[in-house]
C-alpha cells in the first residue's frame, strides 16, 4: 500500500483545536494546518528524520492504526544505507513513555524540590513574558542567556533571544566539537570540512570512536574502509570499540599533540611530505617546521608513553598511504585547555600530506554556494531558501564570554556558539556581569557541563529559568517554567541540509498525532511565546508547511517529492573531489583571504599569541591518582536517554573502568562498590576491572547518575561523570573534560 493513500492531514495543535495566544501582543491564531501529521487506520510508512541524537538520520517510520510500530532507516538514502542504530530503533519507547512531560508547568515550591502546578500554555507564556520584562527593565536584556543544542529548533529558539536584544546566545558546542571548529576556521576560513572515511586506506584517531560515538554515515564509512583492508590506529587511554578493530596505542591522556608534532618532525626529516601541495596551497610551513624541529620521536615517547619506534613506524605507514589517508580531526574535542592546538596540529599534518579533495582524505562540504563556482558542477544543487526575518535589534553590550572581541581568545570563538560553561560562571561570580535569566532548550547542563554541583548552585541563583524538554530532567527540576515539547515522531520541521560529498536534503514529518495533546513542537512554542512577548514579527510563517515551502521553492524541489522519498539528492550524483577535476581549483574552496590553508594564522596569534600550535606539557597523575576520562556508549545518547525505557533496560547504569594492576593495589575487585573522589566532590559507583585501560587512568560512560527523581528509571543509577570534573574553561572557551585526577577507595 502506498503511504500517500493513507495520509490524512490532521491537526497538530493543542488537542486539535486552533490555538489562541494573547495578552502582550495582539491576539493571534496559529492556523491548525501545520500538519504533516497523519491519522491512519491501516499500515503506512512515513519518511522522516530521527532525533534520538542530533545526527538526524533519515528514517522510515512504520505506522499501524495510528501507532508507531517500528522504525527503520530510510531505504531511499544511499549514504545511510537504510540503517539506523539501537537508539534510533528505540524511538517508539520514548514516544509512548508515560514518564514524559505532558503539560506546561510553573514552579510552586523551592527550586529543586519538584513542586509544580500544571498550567495552560497561555499562562506559561504570560508568566515568562512578564519575568523577561522585569529582568529587562531592572538589569537589561543582556542578563538573559539562551542555550540549546544546535538543531532545527534554533531558528525559533534563538529568535526569542535575538528579538529581545540579548547578545548571550549559546550552543552546546563548547562541550563538544568547538575546538575543531576553531581549528578549521583558522586554517580554511570555514568549518564545513569533512572526511571521506570509506575510501581512506589508513586512519589515525586520537580518541574518535566511530563504533560507539555513532554517526551512521561516518560509522558505515569506517566499516567500508575496514572491509576494503584499511588500517585504523587508535590512540586512546582506554580500549574503545574502534581500537579493537585495528592497532590500539594506549596514549597518556592530554599528550596527543606531542605525537602529532613528532609525526611532523619525522615527515619533514625524512622528506615524506607533499612539497608541491604545501608550496601551492598552504602558508606558514616555515613557522611550523621551526615549531616541530625539536619534537623528536624520543621526546614524544617521554610525553606520550608510546615507544619511539612505534611513532616512527606509524608515521611511515601513514605517509605511504597518503593522500588517501587521514588523521582524524575528532568530534568531542574539549579534552584539554589547549585542545584547539591539537586539532590545528592534526589538520596541519593532514595538509602537509595533501590529504584534501581526494578520495579518502578531507573535503570541503559541497554546499551549493561553493560548488556552483566550478564549471563541472553547475546545477549541483540549488541552496534552500529561508524565511526572511526582519533585522534583529543590535545588542548594546558585549557577551559574557568575550566572543567576537579582538585581541582576546573570544576573537576566534565561533560567534554562533560561545563558551556555554561561562553562563554558570557569570551567574555565580557576576563577572563580567551577572546572568539573571536562562532559557534552555534541548540541553541538560546539569549533566552535560562540567562540575554539576556548581551548575546547580548557579541555577538556584537565577531569577528565571525556562526549560523546554521531553522529560523532567536534572536541569528542568530547577526551572521556573517547564515547556513540554512533543517528540520528533509527532512533529514536522523545516528541511535539513545534510550535504556531504553529494548534496542531500532531508525532511522531518510527523508520523502520528500528538500522544499527549498538550505538548507542542518548538517552531510553534517560540512563535506563540514571541507573539505573547510582542516580538511576533520574527516568526514570519503561519504553519510549518508555509515555512518549508519558503525553503523549497528557490531550490526547485517540491514538498510532495520530499514527503514521498524523505530525502533529495540529484539523480545520478557521484561524489565530487575537486583535485580530480582538471577544471576545478582549490582556491575557491579556501575561504581565507590569502586563498591558502594557513598553518600560521594571524587572528590566532592576535587572540592567543599562539599563531602556530605550541605544545603544552600538562601534569600527569601521581601515584595513587588517576586521570578521569569519559566517552559515549553505543546504546545511549549523551545527557539524554538514560530514562528511555528500552535503552534503560539495555544499559541502566555505568561503572568505572580500572586496570587490574591498579585495582589490585587498592584491593578493589570487579563489581565492587567504590567511592571516587575528585578532591572537591565524591561519588559512589561500581568498579569494572579491565585490561582495556592504562593503569594511570579510569573511565566512565557519560550520561548516568541522574538526579531528577521524576526520571524514575534512571534516577540515582550509576555515576554522573560531571560531579567529578571542575568547570574549567579552555583557551578558546571549551569545556574541559580530561584534566581531572581522582582517587579511589572501596566503599
Ligand X SMILES: Nc1nc2c(c(=O)[nH]1)N[C@H]1C(S)=C(S)[C@@H](COP(=O)(O)OP(=O)(O)OC[C@H]3O[C@@H](n4cnc5c(=O)[nH]c(N)nc54)[C@H](O)[C@@H]3O)O[C@H]1N2
Q: Please report, as ranges, the residues that interact with ligand X according to CB under 6 A.
A: 51, 53, 149, 172, 175-176, 206-209, 212-215, 235-238, 240, 251, 253-254, 256, 330-332, 335, 441-444, 448, 450, 468-471, 473, 485, 487-488, 629-632, 634, 636-640, 699, 702, 721-722, 725, 737-738
Smaller CB distance to ligand X: residue 358 or 651? 651
Closest CA to 59 of 92, 33, 16, 10: 92
Smaller CB distance to ligand SF4: residue 50 or 584? 50
Cis peptide before 323 (omega within 30 of 0): yes
The CA distance from 546 to 494, in Å, is 10
* Residue 86 CB, nearest approach to ligand SF4 (Å): 8
Span of 36-44, 175-183, 261-269, 725-733 interacting with Mo ion by CB under 5 A: 175-183
Which residue of this chain has its Cβ atom nearest to Mo ion in the complex? 176
Smaller CB distance to ligand SF4: residue 591 or 634? 634
Span of 29-37, 83-91, 107-115, 527-535 interacting with ligand SF4 by CB under 6 A: 83-91
* Residue 489 CB, nearest approach to ligand SF4 (Å): 12
* Residue 438 CB, nearest approach to ligand X (Å): 14
The CA distance from 284 to 690, in Å, is 44
The CA distance from 122 to 105, in Å, is 11
Give the Cα-Cα-Cα angle 330, 331, 336 (nearest 5 degrees): 75
Cell of 503: 548534496
Smaller CB distance to ligand X: residue 198 or 557? 198
Span of 57-65, 169-177, 429-437, 713-721 interacting with Mo ion by CB under 5 A: 169-177
Residues in the chain: 747
3-class secondary structure, 239:
coil
Q: Does 55 bind ligand SF4 (CB under 6 A)?
A: yes
The CA distance from 476 to 347, in Å, is 39
User: CA torsion, points 257, 262, 265, 266, in degrees to nearest 10?
Assistant: -140
Cell of 205: 584517531
Give the Cα-Cα-Cα angle 207, 212, 214 (nearest 5 degrees): 100
Q: Does 176 bind Mo ion (CB under 5 A)?
A: yes
- Burial class (CB within 10 angstroms; exposed 0-12, middle 13-18, buried 19+) of 428: middle
Cell of 670: 570487579
Q: Does 511 bind ligand SF4 (CB under 6 A)?
A: no
Smaller CB distance to ligand SF4: residue 85 or 590? 85
The answer to whether the CB of 382 falls within 8 A of the CB of 555 is yes
Smaller CB distance to ligand SF4: residue 358 or 511? 511
350 binds, among Mo ion, ligand SF4, ligand X, none (CB under 5 to 8 A by kind): none
The CA distance from 104 to 63, in Å, is 28
* Residue 523 CB, nearest approach to ligand X (Å): 12
- x-marked contacts with ligand SF4 along 84-103 as a string, rule CB under 6 A: xx-xx---------------
Q: Does 50 bind ligand SF4 (CB under 6 A)?
A: yes
DSSP calls for 59-80: EEEEEETTEEEEEEE-TT-TTT
- x-marked contacts with ligand SF4 along 639-678 as a string, rule CB under 6 A: ----------------------------------------
Instruction: Spell out the residues 6+ positions from residue 17 whose beta carbon is closer than 8 angstroms to its own.
Output: 11, 32
User: Given candidates 37, 52, 535, 612, which one binds ligand SF4 under the rule CB under 6 A?
Assistant: 52
Chain position carrying cell 558585549: 398
Contact positions toward ligand SF4, by CB under 6 A?
Answer: 50, 52-53, 55-57, 84-85, 87-88, 214-216
Contact positions toward Mo ion, by CB under 5 A?
Answer: 176
Amino acid at each position: 500500500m502506498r503511504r500517500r493513500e493513507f495520509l490524512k492531514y490532521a491537526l497538530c495543535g493543542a488537542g486539535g483545536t486552533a490555538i489562541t495566544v494573547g495578552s502582550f501582543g495582539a491576539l493571534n491564531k496559529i492556523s491548525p494546518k501545520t500538519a504533516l501529521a497523519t491519522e491512519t487506520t491501516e499500515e503506512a510508512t512515513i519518511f522522516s528524520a530521527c532525533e534520538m541524537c542530533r545526527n538526524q538520520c533519515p528514517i522510515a517510520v512504520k505506522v499501524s492504526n495510528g501507532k508507531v510500530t517500528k522504525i527503520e532507516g530510510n531505504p531511499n538514502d544511499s549514504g545511510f544505507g537504510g540503517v539506523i542504530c539501537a537508539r534510533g530503533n528505540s524511538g517508539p519507547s520514548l514516544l509512548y513513555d508515560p514518564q514524559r512531560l505532558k503539560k506546561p508547568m510553573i514552579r510552586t515550591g523551592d527550586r529543586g524540590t519538584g513542586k509544580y502546578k500544571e498550567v495552560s500554555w497561555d499562562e506559561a507564556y504570560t508568566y515568562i513574558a512578564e519575568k523577561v520584562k522585569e529582568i529587562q527593565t531592572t538589569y537589561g536584556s543582556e542578563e538573559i542567556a539562551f542555550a540549546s543544542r544546535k538543531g532545527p529548533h534554533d531558528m525559533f529558539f534563538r529568535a526569542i533571544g535575538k528579538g529581545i536584544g540579548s547578545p548571550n546566545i549559546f550552543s552546546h558546542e563548547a562541550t563538544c566539537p568547538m575546538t575543531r571548529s576553531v581549528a578549521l576556521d583558522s586554517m580554511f576560513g570555514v568549518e564545513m570540512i569533512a572526511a571521506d572515511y570509506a575510501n581512506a586506506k589508513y586512519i589515525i584517531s586520537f580518541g574518535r570512536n566511530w563504533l560507539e560515538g555513532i554517526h551512521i554515515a561516518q560509522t558505515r564509512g569506517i566499516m567500508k574502509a575496514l572491509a576494503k583492508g584499511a588500517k585504523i590506529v587508535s590512540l586512546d587511554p582506554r580500549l574503545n570499540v574502534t581500537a579493537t578493530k585495528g592497532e590500539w596505542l594506549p596514549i597518556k591522556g592530554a599528550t596527543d599533540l606531542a605525537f602529532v608534532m613528532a609525526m611532523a618532525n619525522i615527515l619533514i626529516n625524512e622528506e615524506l611530505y607533499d612539497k608541491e601541495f604545501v608550496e601551492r596551497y598552504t602558508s606558514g610551513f616555515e613557522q611550523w617546521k621551526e615549531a616541530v624541529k625539536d619534537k623528536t620521536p624520543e621526546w614524544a615517547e617521554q610525553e606520550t608513553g608510546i615507544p619511539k619506534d612505534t611513532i616512527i613506524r606509524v608515521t611511515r605507514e601513514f605517509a605511504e598511504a597518503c593522500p588517501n589517508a587521514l588523521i582524524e580531526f575528532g568530534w568531542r574535542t574539549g579534552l584539554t585547555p589547549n585542545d584547539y592546538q591539537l586539532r590545528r596540529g592534526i589538520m596541519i599534518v593532514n595538509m602537509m600530506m595533501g590529504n584534501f579533495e581526494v578520495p579518502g582524505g578531507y573535503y570541503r562540504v559541497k554546499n551549493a554556494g561553493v560548488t556552483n563556482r566550478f564549471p563541472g558542477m553547475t546545477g549541483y544543487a540549488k541552496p534552500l531558501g529561508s524565511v526572511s526575518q526582519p533585522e534583529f535589534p543590535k545588542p548594546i553590550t558585549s557577551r559574557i564570554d568575550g566572543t567576537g572581541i579582538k585581541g582576546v581568545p573570544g576573537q576566534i570563538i565561533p560567534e554562533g556558539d560561545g563558551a556555554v560553561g561561562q553562563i554558570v560562571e557569570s551567574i555565580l561570580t557576576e563577572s563580567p556581569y551577572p546572568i539573571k535569566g536562562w532559557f534552555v532548550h534541548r540541553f541538560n547542563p546539569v549533566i552535560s557541563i562540567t562540575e554539576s554541583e556548581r551548575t546547580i548552585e548557579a541555577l538556584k541563583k537565577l531569577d528565571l529559568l525556562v526549560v523546554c524538554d521531553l522529560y523532567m530532567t536534572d536541569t528542568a527540576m530547577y526551572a521556573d517554567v517547564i515547556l513540554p515539547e512533543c517528540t520528533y515522531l509527532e512533529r514536522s520541521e523545516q528541511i535539513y541540509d545534510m550535504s556531504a560529498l553529494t548534496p542531500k536534503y532531508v525532511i522531518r514529518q510527523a508520523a502520528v498525532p500528538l500522544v499527549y495533546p498538550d505538548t507542542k513542537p518548538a517552531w510553534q512554542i517560540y512563535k506563540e511565546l514571541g507573539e505573547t512577548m510582542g516580538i511576533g514579527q520574527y516568526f514570519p510563517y503561519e504553519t510549518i508547511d508555509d515555512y518549508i515551502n519558503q525553503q523549497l521553492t528557490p531550490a526547485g524541489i517540491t514538498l510532495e517529492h520530499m514527503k514521498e522519498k524523505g530525502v533529495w539528492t540529484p539523480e545520478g550524483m557521484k561524489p565530487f573531489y575537486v583535485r580530480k577535476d582538471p577544471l576545478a581549483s582549490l582556491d575557491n574552496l579556501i575561504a581565507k583571504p590569502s586563498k591558502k590553508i594557513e598553518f600560521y594564522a594571524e587572528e590566532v596569534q592576535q587572540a592567543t599569541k599562539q599563531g602556530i600550535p605550541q605544545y603544552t606539557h600538562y601534569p600527569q597523575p601521581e601515584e595513587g591518582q588517576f586521570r578521569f576520562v569519559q566517552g559515549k556508549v553505543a546504546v545511549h545518547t549523551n545527557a539524554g536517554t538514560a530514562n528511555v525505557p528500552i535503552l534503560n533496560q539495555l544499559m541502566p547504569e555505568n561503572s568505572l573502568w580500572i586496570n587490574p594492576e591498579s585495582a589490585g593495589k587498592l584491593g578493589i575487585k570487579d563489581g565492587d562498590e567504590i567511592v571516587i573522589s575528585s578532591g572537591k566532590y565524591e561519588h559512589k559507583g561500581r568498579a569494572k576491572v579491565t585490561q582495556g585501560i592504562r593503569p594511570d587512568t579510569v573511565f566512565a560512560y557519560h550520561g548516568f547518575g541522574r538526579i531528577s527523581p521524576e526520571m524514575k528509571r534512571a534516577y540515582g543509577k550509576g555515576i554522573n561523570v560531571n560531579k567529578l570534573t571542575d568547570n574549567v574553561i579552555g583557551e578558546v572557551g571549551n569545556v574541559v573534560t580530561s584534566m581531572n585526577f581522582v582517587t579511589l577507595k572501596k566503599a
